[in-house]
Structure 1
Amino acid sequence: MNNSQPIESNELLKDFNICTQLKYTGQLKVRDSQGRSWNFYYQLGQIVWATGGTHPYRRWLRYIAQHCPDLDTNSIEYRAEDILVDAWDYRLLENLYATQKITQEQITHIAESTIAELLFDIAQQTKLSSLSVDRNQQLILKSPLTATNGNIFLKQMQEFWHNWKEAGLVDFSPYLAPVLRKPDQLQRRVSPVVYKNLERLINGKYTLWDLAAKMKQNVLSITRSLLLYIQQGIVDLIEVPDLRIPTNQVNKIYPVTEIKRENPPLIVCVDDSIQVCKMLERIITSHGMRFIGIQNPVQALPMLIENKPDLIFLDLMMPVVNGYEVCNQLRRISCFAKTPVVILTGSDGVFDRVRSKVFGATEFVTKPVDKNKIIAIVDKYLQPASQVDNLSNLAFSY
């Protein structure tokens, strides 16, 4: 963040205040130049929920564990119709409330923690000059279960950010995970009991936010206590990905009509056309495979990282972010280095084909979608050789 300009002068604060003053209902979306986004949902001028930012699923699980300790997270059902909506994390809370697994008071605590964290994320990770703000009154949360005064959270965020800077932590993100690099040096400095606990927790798996929740302390206190060890190279801070939503339960809403597999492949289509996504869904699921359709290209990358599909169909021409950009970003991520990426486009030009290859695409398929071409590509990249001939001869309808 540009520390030379105080956050009090940020135009973003005015947008939040305007939403409160006008008793705004709808979504307030904050974006930066690197493609990150934070979404705040208002109801009559009060913030009812916030989503997006860094590690959305890890954050959701963290606050579930913190505020709903009696809830068995392994029993939570993740249906595609729930996790593919804009405020998927709130939808899951609604489902848990409807089945009486959590209370309205617990939802309020989770919402307050989430809103506060996202505001701090904006304060630390964005540059004031690169922020953009959009309002969308079409995206609202119907019958929200909680509501909070946004001005209170803005004041808390400013105070928290001030304390974070005063502690010398400006360059440290709480989304980083501490890992022990020099255990022998740490062992000489602390008691055996403290060392045992630190060795168990400082393993590169838990972010500073996660550690604060596990240890029931403020993230500022946790980070400040590790600062000396970080500066001396005893502890290092590393980037970690978001946790993955368990997609093994997503296929429950998709009937398997022909082929049953113990571990069916997951195929994702990123296309702003809902018709294309629905057609591919029918083709893919009728052959016993799992499918996720993503219509919002801005949300594509984090959702792909969460779900790690076996094959990706990617539309070339989309608003805000085009297929070239998404493909290029995917190839920079190690887990997608070899994932088949098939470009979908209405153009059959040589230039588009060549450019797609340059950006890392595996195949190039023209629209309209043809079911035989789609299955042929799936067979080519995902099916064992012994199954290709049998599968290609199967007749199916949708």
Structure 2
Amino acid sequence: MSHLQPMVANKLMNEFKHYTELKYSGKLLIKSTKGSKWNFYYQSGQIVWATGGTHPFRRWRRQMAQYCPEIDLDNMQLCSQDVSIDYWDYRLLESLYAQQKIKREQMNAVVENTIAELLFDLVQQANFSSVNSDRNQEIILPASTNLVSADKFFKLMEESWKNWSEAGLANLSPNLAPTVHRAEQLQQQVSSGVYKNFVTLINGKYTLLDLAVKMKQSVLSVSRSLLPYIFKGIIELVEVPDLPLRVIEVKDNYSITKSKTPTIPLIACVNDRPQVSEMLEEIIIHNGLRLINIQDAVHPLPILIEHKPDLIFLDLVLPVASGYEICAQLRRISLFANTPIIILTDSDRSLDRVRAKVVGSTDSIAAPLSADKVMGVVRKHIQPESKVKSLTTLDSGLLTLDS
């Protein structure tokens, strides 16, 4: 159910606190009359993520450069699907953590600072234009980090805005980029070393927020130091475009069954052996279920996160990472904390079964596969047998997603 009402800045925090008191779970969408929008994702009254605002990609680059410098964003293999949803950055963060490329404390820092930055951006813009709120309880993001009290975020935001305003910066957005407007006048007022630094950094390419990260200072101190030059017209603040991540277009390498009844359970199979995939496909579709066959055994996580299957069959022998490793990665993503994960093995060795349990698998089945084995484990872990059997009367077909 939608909740829509006009707000101004001095009422904004009461709106947020209201959702905290309600223990709200879902998305809170806020739009300004100037066309800006912000999404805040709540779980049980706490904010777990935020998106939107100005320059979402620049913001992501800043956060990663500051807290996860070991990640080379420009060399990440991203496809259009990875950045097609509002909370693409949250999913990428989850994926990096699941692959053990970043640590829990790094993820916490990115989450907390992203929320704080967007709250500040929202409040500043709300001081100059009215905003409307709208809620959507269909989108609930799982908390992948330790939840920070919403009240703490509000106090930090109020303090940041107070300091920003008292410094005479209320009318200046930290998303603007300073550039030297009168170079000769600047050269007369500063030393040659300072002038060189100015020309190198104050070139209209980096926003005040970008500069703060590059200079390892707070955005308040950087902006305050430039304010005298801005007032004199020596430095000008200009708008700059966002800096999107590099996205490559790839051919879809998975297929998914399509049913007239979307509530039918979706089974995923991560397997690069066509014979096994075809056998599972025949068994599962014949029994009226939906199936997503993922042949990309190198990067299966984004596809699984996008489709959220009810059960996952995971081949033990895969290139680059084994089924054990991918299972462990999935268990580190809160979205799959309770999803049944079934390891497919070539033999019924007790060692394989024990190791599969250690990494968090729910069950395992050994070759040769049969309809009884496959459907037995599906019925065991998804729902009572009678409900799965009843699905055999439903229509299902195969839709191949090829570009």
Give the TM-score, by structure 2 length.
Answer: 0.59
Alpha-carbon offset, residue 99 of structure 1:
1.7
Report the RMSD for the aligned CA atoms in angstroms: 2.0
Distance 1:171 1:34 in 2: 16
TM-aligned CA distance change 1:232 to 1:128, over 3 Å: closer
1:84-163 superposed matches below 5 A: 84-127=84-127, 130-163=130-163
TM-aligned CA distance change 1:179 to 1:188, over 3 Å: same
Alpha-carbon offset, residue 127 of structure 1:
4.5
Distance 1:253 1:221 in 2: 47
Question: Any conservation in 2 of the 1:82–1:92 contact (CA below 8 Å)?
Answer: yes
TM-aligned CA distance change 1:143 to 1:132, over 3 Å: same
1:154-303 superposed matches below 5 A: 154-247=154-247, 249=248, 251-254=249-252
Question: Any conservation in 2 of the 1:32–1:127 contact (CA below 8 Å)?
Answer: no
Alpha-carbon offset, residue 143 of structure 1:
4.8
**Residues 339-390 of structure 1: CA deviation (Å, up to 9, x unaligned):** xxxxxxxxxxxxxxxxxxxxxxxxxxxxxxxxxxxxxxxxxxxxxxxxxxxx
**Residues 49-92 of structure 1: CA deviation (Å, up to 9, x unaligned):** 11000000000011100001222222322222221112111111
Partner of 1:74: 74
2:232 partner letter: Q
Alpha-carbon offset, residue 206 of structure 1:
0.0
**Structure 2 unpaired stretches of 5+:** 1-6, 254-401
Distance 1:207 1:97 in 2: 28
* Structure 1 counterpart SS, 2:141: coil
TM-aligned CA distance change 1:199 to 1:50, over 3 Å: same
Distance 1:221 1:181 in 2: 21
Runs of 4+ in 1 over 3 A off after TM superposition: none
**Residues 323-348 of structure 1: CA deviation (Å, up to 9, x unaligned):** xxxxxxxxxxxxxxxxxxxxxxxxxx
Q: Name which structure has the greater RCO, CA cutoff 8 Å, separation 6+.
A: 2
Distance 1:55 1:87 in 2: 14
1:252 partner letter: V
Distance 2:8 2:37 in 1: 21
* Structure 2 counterpart SS, 1:34: coil
Alpha-carbon offset, residue 129 of structure 1:
6.4
The structure with more radius of gyration: 2
Identity of aligned residues (%): 52
1:53 partner letter: G
Count of matched residue pairs: 249
**Structure 1 unpaired stretches of 5+:** 256-396
* Structure 2 counterpart SS, 1:132: strand
Distance 2:200 2:58 in 1: 19
* Structure 1 counterpart SS, 2:100: coil
Distance 2:190 2:21 in 1: 52
1:59 partner letter: R
